[in-house]
Amino acid sequence: MKKPLTLKIQLLVTLLPIFFIFTLIVSIVSYSLFYTNTRSYTNNQIEQSSYQCLNNYETFFNSVIDTSNSIERKVSNMDLINHQDEITTYLDDLLSLQSELSNAAIYSLEGEVIASNLNYESVTNATTTDWFINANNNRLLNFFSSIDYLDGLYGFTLSKYVTYNTEQEGGILKLDFDFTNVINLISETDLGNGGHITIYDNNYNVVYCSGIFNQKETELVQDVVLGSKIVRLDNVEYNMYISTLSNTRWKVAIFTNYESISSTLSNFLIILIILTIVIIVVEGGILYFVSTGITNPIRLLKREMSNVESLKFNPNDLLLIKGNKEVIELSKSFNQMMKRIDELAKKNIEEEEEKRKSELKALQNQINPHFLYNTLDSIVYLIEKKDNEKAEEMIIALSKFFRISISKGRTIIPLEKEIEHVKYYLLIQKIRFGKSFSYNIDIKIDISKYYTIKLILQPLVENAIIHGLKELEGNGKINIEVDKEDDLIKISISDNGFGILPSKLNEIYENMKDKTKNSSVGLKNVYQRLKIYYGEKADLKIISDLDIGTTIIIYIPISEALKNEEK
């Protein structure tokens, strides 16, 4: 099964691609819009300026054709031979009206000048010239010579077959034009770096080029023929616009530098890419913070909860998680729940304590009342025997014994008192039983600061007297020793009786540890009280060697023994 993702990762994984794609789409769309718009705008502009350029040429060539046409109209109904003055004046007028027109003449089909402006130098052997032959061959067309460049001036010749004298005779009209001003004017059009205009004739021979002519462009012009296209010449992009020049058989190719648009586009692209990356990074950052803001309180809450799991929990340390409303409420509810749990636990502990105390009391109260009866019987016996000294001694011992037993109802008494308590007991028992046993108390450490629960030694000593020494007439020995072992106080009570069989010993242990069995053997009573009061660290051990004796050892933690208060 797939490992479940954290909320934060899930938020990031889901939202980040959406943001990313969205940003990307916005970027792509805006670039393509910008690209199309810029291109179409620039193309439009270039087309407009190219068109303007072409217009200027056409306006000029139309005026040239108009001049030719008006001369043709003028002479078609005119007897040139008999009206020399009139035609000369007319041509001179035309020359002064149209600054570009430098010469105008009409040649007969034999090559003689029939009419011309005043200062005209006639061409010899006119019939052999290109302009004459071409105009004569196709009598409907205006023939344009290629553009000459001479002494800084551009010039060309137009020739046309015309009829005169009411169409009865024919001749060749020859008009020389000075093209320089027009070319200079058009050259002012800004075509960008390297931009230029080339004029081709019918067979793609270059008639004129305003810039540096590149051999490759002829191929490009032949490919495209008409219209516009983006082309590359010497690694520079140009918009090439080709059109025909009306009334001529020429073609104009206008090359406008197109690099600026490429750099504009690439600049925009770079800015857009940077911007896109920045936006995506910012989006990612914002998304990270937002998702952290959402998930962090949840994460903290989770940590709080796991503190509880690992039992490091303290209800006073509970944090109120800051975050969004849901998390705050969740945190509050959790805290409340934890407090409630804590209260319940405390209550439970208190109840347990109460129960323990009552158990302790009950156990303490199980001290054998027979001892009192027996002792009193012994005192009566001593009195009857008029052994008043011993009787008195016994009564005093009994009185002190009970004083310590009761200890004003306290459970905890100084260890010294407990030891004293046992001494009185032993004294009483010794008087009762006579010289049947001896005892020795050996305190190896300073016990003045230690406390203990009361009545833990007396039952054990009683055991030792009853079970260990009963049969030993006069040789019984009880040895009580108080010592330290690590952080425990070790109190051992030894007898020199027969000892206990190992099987019996196990039975005793089992019996001792079993709470449920309600047998009021002293050993068990002491063991249970040690455990209830001191917990696991306190212990009771029985060491027994057959025919040598039995030692019972009580262990009390020193840390607990220093406390003089009831739990």
Partner 1 sequence: MKKNKLKLFLLLPLLLLTSCKQENNNISLFLYAADDEFINELTLAINQSFAGDYDLEIFSANRRQSIQNRQISSVIDSNLSNLMIVNIVDRLSSKSIIEKAATTNTPIIFINREPLLEDMLTYDKVYYVGTNPTYEGELQATIADNLFGGYQNFINSKYDKNKDGKLQVVQIKGEQGHQDTESRSYYSLNKLNNLGYQVDLLSSVFCDWTINSAYNEFRNIYNDFLDENFNSEIELLLCNNDEMAVGCINYLLTLDSYNEELSITDQYFPIIGVDASNNGLEAIRNGYLYGSVINDSEMQAEAIYKISDALLNNKDINNLDLTFEDGKFIRTNGKIVTQSTLIE
Binding site for partner 1 (CB under 8 A): 51, 54-55, 58, 69, 72-73, 76-77, 138-142, 166-168, 202, 222-229, 242-244, 246-249, 251
* Least distance to partner 1, CB of residue 134, Å: 12
* Least distance to partner 1, CB of residue 145, Å: 15
Nearer to partner 1, 32 or 202 (CB): 202
Nearer to partner 1, 161 or 451 (CB): 161
* Least distance to partner 1, CB of residue 47, Å: 8
* Least distance to partner 1, CB of residue 251, Å: 6
* Least distance to partner 1, CB of residue 48, Å: 12
Buried b (16+ CB within 10 A) or exposed e, 343-378: eeeeeeeeeeeeeeeeebeebbebbeeebeeebeeb
* Least distance to partner 1, CB of residue 86, Å: 15
Distance (Å, whole) CA 291 – CA 301: 16
3-state secondary structure of 223: helix
Position of tokens 């490919």?
223
Nearer to partner 1, 167 or 190 (CB): 167
Q: Any residues with CB less than 8 A from the CB of 88 and at least 6 apart, and which?
A: 115, 116, 117, 118
Nearer to partner 1, 56 or 264 (CB): 56
Please provide the DSSP assignment of 503-541 as one string: HHHHHHHHHHH-SSS----HHHHHHHHHHHHHGGG-EEE
Q: Which two tokens stand for residue 468?
A: 């260990």
Nearer to partner 1, 67 or 551 (CB): 67
* Least distance to partner 1, CB of residue 138, Å: 8
3-state secondary structure of 446: coil
| Nearest by Cα to 56 from 210, 194, 160, 205 | 210
Nearer to partner 1, 66 or 566 (CB): 66
* Least distance to partner 1, CB of residue 191, Å: 18
According to DSSP, the β-strands at 196-200 and 206-209 are antiparallel
Nearer to partner 1, 173 or 493 (CB): 173
Nearer to partner 1, 244 or 511 (CB): 244
User: In angstroms, what CA-CA distances link 168 with 90, 111, 127, 165, 232?
Assistant: 21, 17, 20, 6, 55
* Least distance to partner 1, CB of residue 274, Å: 32
* Least distance to partner 1, CB of residue 243, Å: 5
Q: Any residues with CB less than 8 A from the CB of 466 and at least 6 apart, and which?
A: none
With beta carbons less than 8 A apart as the criterion, state whether 67 and 157 touch: no
Nearer to partner 1, 206 or 383 (CB): 206
Nearer to partner 1, 103 or 228 (CB): 228
Nearer to partner 1, 72 or 86 (CB): 72
3-state secondary structure of 38: helix
Please provide the DSSP assignment of 304-359 as one string: HHHHHHTT---GGG-----SSHHHHHHHHHHHHHHHHHHHHHHHHHHHHHHHHHHH
According to DSSP, the β-strands at 437-443 and 476-485 are parallel
With beta carbons less than 8 A apart as the criterion, state whether 427 and 458 touch: no
Q: Longest C-alpha distance within the chain, in Å?
A: 204
* Least distance to partner 1, CB of residue 218, Å: 13
Please provide the DSSP assignment of 175-222 as one string: EEEE-HHHHHHHHTS---TT-EEEEE-TTS-EEEESS---HHHHHHHH
